[in-house]
């Protein structure tokens, strides 16, 4: 019987390792991303451990978040870390000028951040203030976080409850320095970068020494969307580096936002919006290829990772929420969008070795939404859970005829597929059906399977959402019965994400 799509898995030619850091998170002091979303304070009636809400911690722990980028975003370039340490009663309240002029109580500061990532089992990706701070301030912050307690900075940290140095695995040197981070020419930024890269020292004894896998990686501000000025500028500087400085990552910020200001609704949208948004997100592939080609010129060995450390769909703010809080709902469409981006990152695994979705809780394409004591996992959260086998897996090439999904003048592939071999040796296949109407019959070739099980994420509509009252509208469901005499075949439902494990 003819199949709509034959997916052939080429297990003989494995590709690059898909770094687990592509599942990184971004938690900015913005709206209720931190306050309410992560931090409720120790006196709250919402169950918490030292002020950090336990439901959110449990949800994040379950998806093995590899790293959390903090404290911003644009916020990072106006953050003064000393406001956020020491006795709670002595913390200085400041104004969050970027995000709605909200009062920033500074209750969640450095020590609370490390407590939080410790609770969820994640690495720190800290962004230092290059835009409005000083190099002295940044280097003192590094000393506070990482120096031995026999130093004054380390003693201050010990006095605040943490004797051992923290582990800062990733350091962002500024944020969007071409825009909200100070509107700098690449030449000006690279001059600053060299100084920050040299003097923002990590003193943690466990993170010293060349070749030590725990050594801190410094990530420079890089391009936005298709603008290559920072890609050229920073990579040229890197190629001309000497013993005194280097970087270990270049950032790319690229949102799925077909109109600026973001005006497409996050609920009750129609098929035109659906198609426009998916077509826009698929541009990520060519965008990465464009920056990667420039990086290849300066760095053919692919030493410097590209870190897509802000990505996701940016929609109109939910009506009734405070302006500047960037709160939006999250639908099945957004889960599909997340899967498509992970597949793109996987195809570029040789260069893209970090990505941070914007953002973790209550902001933009959030994984988790909260309202007081209530919490709900979004479709984007469930895609993160389904894609767990991709963390540190080996890319396995596949070939297939994707077909076409058309809406008006917009056309795109109807099917997407990525295969990988997980760390435990198991083979996995991810399939996405972008077509909101037509299911497809899929036959998998290239292996003799002994078992095939998996999960499917779909719902009645592409605009289906999870709410506090109906949290299970879009959740993964098990699929079985897809193996017959060593052959795997299945109906891939319209508008769905499927991840299957194939036992050989």
How far, in Å, CA of 300 to CA of 294, rounded? 10
Minimum CB distance to ligand AHR, residue 235 (Å): 21
Q: Catalytic annotation on 78?
A: no
Minimum CB distance to ligand AHR, residue 346 (Å): 23
Minimum CB distance to ligand AHR, residue 365 (Å): 10
Place of tokens 């709410």: 467
With respect to ligand AHR, which residue has the nearer C-beta, 380 or 433?
Answer: 380
Cβ neighbours for 433, distance < 8 A, ≥ 6 positions apart: 414, 415, 439, 440, 492, 493, 494, 495, 496, 498
Task: List the Cα angle 273/274/278 in 5-degree steps.
Answer: 115
Query: Closest Cα to residue 382, out of 271, 460, 288, 456?
Result: 456
Q: Helices 283-298 and 271-281 sit at what angle, rounded to 10 degrees?
A: 10
With respect to ligand AHR, which residue has the nearer C-beta, 123 or 310?
Answer: 310
CB atoms within 10 A of CB 170: 24
For residue 73, CA distances in Å to 66, 230, 347 come to 19, 17, 27
With respect to ligand AHR, which residue has the nearer C-beta, 262 or 493?
Answer: 262
With respect to ligand AHR, which residue has the nearer C-beta, 117 or 257?
Answer: 257
Task: List the Cα angle 438/432/341 in 5-degree steps.
Answer: 135
Note the residues at the interface with ligand AHR (CB under 6 A).
Answer: 28, 72-74, 175-176, 180, 310, 358-359, 364
Q: Are 113 and 88 in contact (CB under 8 A)?
A: no
Q: Catalytic annotation on 176?
A: yes
Minimum CB distance to ligand AHR, residue 364 (Å): 6
238-247's contacts with Cβ under 8 Å and 24+ in sequence apart are: 238/298, 238/299, 238/304, 239/298, 239/299, 244/194, 244/198, 245/193, 245/194, 245/197, 245/198, 246/197, 246/218, 247/173, 247/193, 247/197, 247/218, 247/219, 247/220, 247/304
Write down the catalytic residue from 78, 112, 310, 317.
310
Q: With the CA atoms of 368, 332, 291 and 415 taken in that order, what torsion angle do they form, in degrees rounded to the nearest 10?
A: 150
With respect to ligand AHR, which residue has the nearer C-beta, 74 or 482?
Answer: 74
With respect to ligand AHR, which residue has the nearer C-beta, 212 or 259?
Answer: 259
Which residue's CB atom is positioned nearest to ligand AHR?
73
Q: Are 216 and 170 in contact (CB under 8 A)?
A: yes
Minimum CB distance to ligand AHR, residue 356 (Å): 10
With respect to ligand AHR, which residue has the nearer C-beta, 101 or 503?
Answer: 101
Write down the catalytic residue from 112, 123, 176, 248.
176
Q: Tell me the DSSP string of 15-82.
A: --B--GGGGEEE--SSTTTTBTTTB--TT-SS-EETTEEHHHHHHHHHTT--EEEES-SGGGGG--GG
Residues with active-site annotation = 176, 310
């Amino acid at each position: 019987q003819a199949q709509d799509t034959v997916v052939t898995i080429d297990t003989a030619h494995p590709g690059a390792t898909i770094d687990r850091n592509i599942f990184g998170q971004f938690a900015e002091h913005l709206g209720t991303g931190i306050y309410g979303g992560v931090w409720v304070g120790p006196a709250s009636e919402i169950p918490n451990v030292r002020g950090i809400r336990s439901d959110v911690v449990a949800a994040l722990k379950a998806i093995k978040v590899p790293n959390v980028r903090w404290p911003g975003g644009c916020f990072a370039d106006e953050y003064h870390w000393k406001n956020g340490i020491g006795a709670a009663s002595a913390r200085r309240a400041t104004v969050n000028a970027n995000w709605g002029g909200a009062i920033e109580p500074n209750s969640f500061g450095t020590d609370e951040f490390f407590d939080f990532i410790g609770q969820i089992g994640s690495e720190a990706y800290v962004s230092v203030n290059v835009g409005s701070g000083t190099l002295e301030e940044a280097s003192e912050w590094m000393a506070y976080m990482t120096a031995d307690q026999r130093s004054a900075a380390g003693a201050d940290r010990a006095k605040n409850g943490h004797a051992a140095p923290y582990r800062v695995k990733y350091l962002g040197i500024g944020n969007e320095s071409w825009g909200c981070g100070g509107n700098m020419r690449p030449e000006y930024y690279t001059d600053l970068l060299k100084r920050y890269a040299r003097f923002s020292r990590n003193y943690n004894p466990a993170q010293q020494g060349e070749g030590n896998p725990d050594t801190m990686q410094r990530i420079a501000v890089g391009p936005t969307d298709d603008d290559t000025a920072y890609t050229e500028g920073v990579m040229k500087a890197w190629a001309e580096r000497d013993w005194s400085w280097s970087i270990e990552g270049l950032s790319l910020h690229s949102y799925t936002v077909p109109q600026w200001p973001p005006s497409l609704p996050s609920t009750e949208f129609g098929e035109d919006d659906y198609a426009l948004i998916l077509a826009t997100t698929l541009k990520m592939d060519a965008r990465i290829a464009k920056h990667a080609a420039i990086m290849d010129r300066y760095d053919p060995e692919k030493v410097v990772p590209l870190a897509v450390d802000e990505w996701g769909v940016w929609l109109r703010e939910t009506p009734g929420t405070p302006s500047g809080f960037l709160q939006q709902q999250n639908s099945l469409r957004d889960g599909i969008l997340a899967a498509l981006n992970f597949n793109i990152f996987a195809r570029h695994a040789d260069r893209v070795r970090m990505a941070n979705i914007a953002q973790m809780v209550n902001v933009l394409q959030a994984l988790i939404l909260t309202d007081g004591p209530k919490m709900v996992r979004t479709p984007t959260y469930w895609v993160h859970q389904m894609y767990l086998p991709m963390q540190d897996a080996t890319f396995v090439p596949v070939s297939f005829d994707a077909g076409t999904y058309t809406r008006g003048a917009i056309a795109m592939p109807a099917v997407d597929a990525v295969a990988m071999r997980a760390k435990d040796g198991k083979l996995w296949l991810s399939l996405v059906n972008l077509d909101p109407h037509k299911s497809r019959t899929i036959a998998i070739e290239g292996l003799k399977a002994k078992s095939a099980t998996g999960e499917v994420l779909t719902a009645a509509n592409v605009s289906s959402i999870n709410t506090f009252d109906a949290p299970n509208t879009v959740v993964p469901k098990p699929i079985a019965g897809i193996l017959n005499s060593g052959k795997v075949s299945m109906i891939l439902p319209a508008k769905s994400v499927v991840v299957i494990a194939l036992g050989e």
